[in-house]
Amino acid sequence: MILPTIYDMLICMEQTIVNTVEPDLKSHKGLSATATIKHMLRQSALRLEHEGAFLVEDIARQRVLIRRIADYLSGAGDPIGATVAEALDAIPGAPEGYPTLSALSEIGVALRNQFHDGLKALQALRDSRADDADYAALRADIRTYAEWQIGEETKLIGPASFGQGPRR
Amino acid sequence: MDFSPDNMARYLDHRLGGKVRIDDISRFGRGTSRQTWFVDAMRDGEKHELVFRLDLDAGSFGDAPLDEEYFIYERLGHTNVPAARALWWEDDPQWATTAPFYVRSRVDGDWNIPNFTNPDPRYDDLRIRISKEWVRKIAIVHAVDWKGLGIDQRLPAPKSLADCGPNYVNMIVAHFEADRIEGDPILLESAERLRDIAPPASKICLCKGTNGFGEEIFRGEEIVALSDWEEVSIGDPANDFAYVQYLVPEIRQDGKSIWGMAQALDYYEELTGTHVPLKTIDYYRGVRMLRMLVMMARAAAAVHRYPRIAEVRQLYASTEVALHSHNVLLQSMGLKTAFDPEIFQEVHMSVEVLS
């Protein structure tokens, strides 16, 4: 165990900016930069604490949805379905042991790109699938995922800045 | 580009010919999407007031490339639109060491008008005069013969009045795809919806894109240069009324509205004969949020690729501003969020304004 914790360090750094750096700054340019840095330090603390758990859940949810998108596209005879499925299979799972945030982010981004490409192909089928309940259900589930994703990201970013002063 | 006086003197000696003396170099503090530098130089007794424009070191917010901005300034030089004169494009790596840049003339004036934002009703008339001045100038932009000037060879032109909204949305999505580092299903869902609900335009014209107090250059109460053409497009004139940053203030006296968007649109119709419906402006406000998301994605890409040279405002914008854009777009699709749109106003807070 290393004390102080990373959170202690971030709080101490933020307060040093407030108590030591800012009183000596005269220009708006400098004060604007420190204002932004304080928001970013608070966000860093939140993300260090919670982003790993979010990413683990996000990766699991994305994998399920992307597989469904790939299967649907393949069932509709769209070759992009196979491309997306192959790309999905090629994206590695979580590393052994306690993962780093970077490793999880890399997986999450790779999945998001396949999700994006799959959704584009799915959107292109919309007119011809207007009466297909499976298509409608898949599209609805994608939107439900989007609600969840942004809800979680709001928890990671919002409290660091909302109501906490000028951003720049 | 190295903006040290010695290097600038060498560059302008080379570019302008003869011996150049540098009097002043400063970076413009407002405007965050790209770098803007002011350079004052003397050559053979002639004063040169120049503006250098280049991308931020790690890559800019702007989703359209810098050479498109230069192209527009160059084309505007053939019109009666008040705008700075494009002088030259520079991509010689000897001088454009970090990225290409272009140079334009500096127009004498100020972005600020004393008391324009003073809420005292004594300044209501001033606000209305300035607002009308902007409407007159944007009407000139909308009258530009974009086809005759070949602007549609660079910007995608809609095929019809009904295609204005979808064409603009497609352009935004194309910008996203051109520099995508991470997919964004919400962007795709929003784009699909915005294509679906696009209202027909009242005419097809050149649109400036970014308007507002702080974007234009005034001399007295006259706009002598319309600046910031980064979001220029060909499409619906309503697009220019969707993002006006204080230039169309809502003013009430004795409980009665005496100026605001409705009156500004009436004035525009009086000048141009074109009716722009209010609800179409709401539509373009939604589209602008989509464009904002694309710009924030570019900021995220810049920080991710080059964290050592990225600017901290890019870091901030790519997180909180992108989050707000996502939330607003989700809400406009009727989806649930725990987001209070009032909080969005906070992102405009700056230490400069508060002081």
pLDDT tens figures, B305-343: 999 999 999 999 999 999 999 999 999 999 988 777 777
DSSP label at residue A26: -
Average pLDDT rounded to a whole number, residues A128-146:
96
Interface check for B333 against chain A (CB to CB < 8 A): the answer is: yes
Interface check for A135 against chain B (CB to CB < 8 A): the answer is: no
B136 and B33 share a domain? no
- Which sign, positive or negative, has the C-alpha torsion A129, A131, A132, A135? positive
Which CATH number goes with the domain that contains B49? 3.30.200.20
Confidence band (pLDDT; 50, 70, 90) for B213?
confident
Please state, in angstroms and rounded to a whole number, the distance separating the CA atoms of residues B238 and B191. 18
Q: What is the 3-state secondary structure (H, E, C) of B86-141?
A: EEEEECCCCCCCCCCEEEEECCCCECCCCCCCCCCHHHHHHHHHHHHHHHHHHHHH
Residue reference for tokens 């005034």 = B218
Encoded tokens for B244: 């006006």
Query: How many domains, in total, are found in chain B?
Result: 2
CA–chain centroid gap for B196, Å, is 26
Confidence band (pLDDT; 50, 70, 90) for B31?
low
What is the span of the domain harbouring residue B14?
5-105
* End-to-end CA, chain B: 33
Task: Determine whether B69 is exposed, middle or buried from the number of CB atoms within 10 Å of its CB (0-12, 13-18, 19+).
Answer: buried
Task: Determine whether A61 is exposed, middle or buried from the number of CB atoms within 10 Å of its CB (0-12, 13-18, 19+).
Answer: middle
Q: Residue B221: which of B334, B301, B115 has the closest Cα?
A: B115
In a domain, B83, yes or no: yes
B62 and B166 share a domain? no
Residues B258, B235 contacting (CB under 8 angstroms): no
Please state, in angstroms and rounded to a whole number, the distance separating the CA atoms of residues A94 and B221. 61
Please state, in angstroms and rounded to a whole number, the distance separating the CA atoms of residues B342 and B345. 6
Q: Across the interface, do A161 and B335 touch by the CB < 8 Å criterion?
A: no
Encoded tokens for B324: 């707000």
Please state whether beta strands B46-54 and B35-43 pair in parallel, antiparallel, or not at all (unpaired): antiparallel
Amino acid identity of B98? T
Task: Determine whether B68 is exposed, middle or buried from the number of CB atoms within 10 Å of its CB (0-12, 13-18, 19+).
Answer: middle
Nearest-Cα residue of chain A relative to residue B311 = A33
Please state whether beta strands B216-219 and B251-253 pair in parallel, antiparallel, or not at all (unpaired): unpaired
B94 and B125 share a domain? no
How distant is the Cα of A114 from the closest Cα of chain B, in angstroms?
Answer: 7
Encoded tokens for B219: 């001399």
Please state, in angstroms and rounded to a whole number, the distance separating the CA atoms of residues B281 and B103. 33
Q: Residue B261: which of B294, B292, B238 has the closest Cα?
A: B238
Please state, in angstroms and rounded to a whole number, the distance separating the CA atoms of residues B124 and B116. 8
pLDDT digits (tens, 9 = 90+) for B254-271: 899 999 999 999 999 999
**Residue B204: which region, alpha, beta or left (left: phi > 0; alpha: psi -120 to 50)?**
beta
B137 and B50 share a domain? no
Which of B192, B337, B347 comes nearest A123 by C-beta? B192
Q: Across the interface, do B192 and A143 touch by the CB < 8 Å criterion?
A: no
Final residue in a domain of this structure, among B59, B78, B105: B105
pLDDT of B240 above 70: yes
* Integer Rg of chain A from CA: 21
How distant is the Cα of B182 from the closest Cα of chain A, in angstroms?
Answer: 6
Q: Which value, to the nearest 10 degrees, does the dihedral of the CA atoms of residues A7, A13, A14, A19 take?
A: 140
B159 and B193 share a domain? yes
pLDDT digits (tens, 9 = 90+) for A63-106: 999 999 999 999 999 999 999 999 999 999 877 888 999 999 99
pLDDT of residue B117: 85
Query: How many domains, in total, are found in chain A?
Result: 1
B94 and B131 share a domain? no
In a domain, B116, yes or no: no
Encoded tokens for B350: 């700056």
pLDDT digits (tens, 9 = 90+) for B132-190: 999 999 999 999 999 999 999 999 999 999 999 999 999 999 999 999 999 999 999 99
Nearest-Cα residue of chain B relative to residue A161 = B320
3-state secondary structure of A27: coil
B295 and B346 share a domain? yes
Final residue in a domain of this structure, among B105, B131, B147: B105
B250 and B335 share a domain? yes
In a domain, B110, yes or no: no
Average pLDDT rounded to a whole number, residues B260-284:
96
3-state secondary structure of A128: helix
Nearest-Cα residue of chain A relative to residue B176 = A116
In a domain, A53, yes or no: yes
Which residues are bridge partners to B50 per DSSP? Answer: B39, B105
DSSP label at residue A24: G
Kindly state the helix (H) or strand (E) to which residue A157 belongs, with its residue range.
helix A133-161
Final residue in a domain of this structure, among B105, B139, B156: B105
B267 and B335 share a domain? yes
B190 and B238 share a domain? yes
Amino acid identity of B95? W
Q: Which residues of A touch B183 (CB under 8 A)?
A: 112-117
Which CATH number goes with the domain that contains B126? 3.90.1200.10
Confidence band (pLDDT; 50, 70, 90) for B211?
very high
B143 and B54 share a domain? no
B175 and B97 share a domain? no
Q: Across the interface, do A147 and B343 touch by the CB < 8 Å criterion?
A: no
In a domain, B114, yes or no: no
Encoded tokens for A112: 């998001």
What is the span of the domain harbouring residue A101?
6-161
In a domain, A167, yes or no: no
Residue reference for tokens 């298509």 = A135
In a domain, B92, yes or no: yes
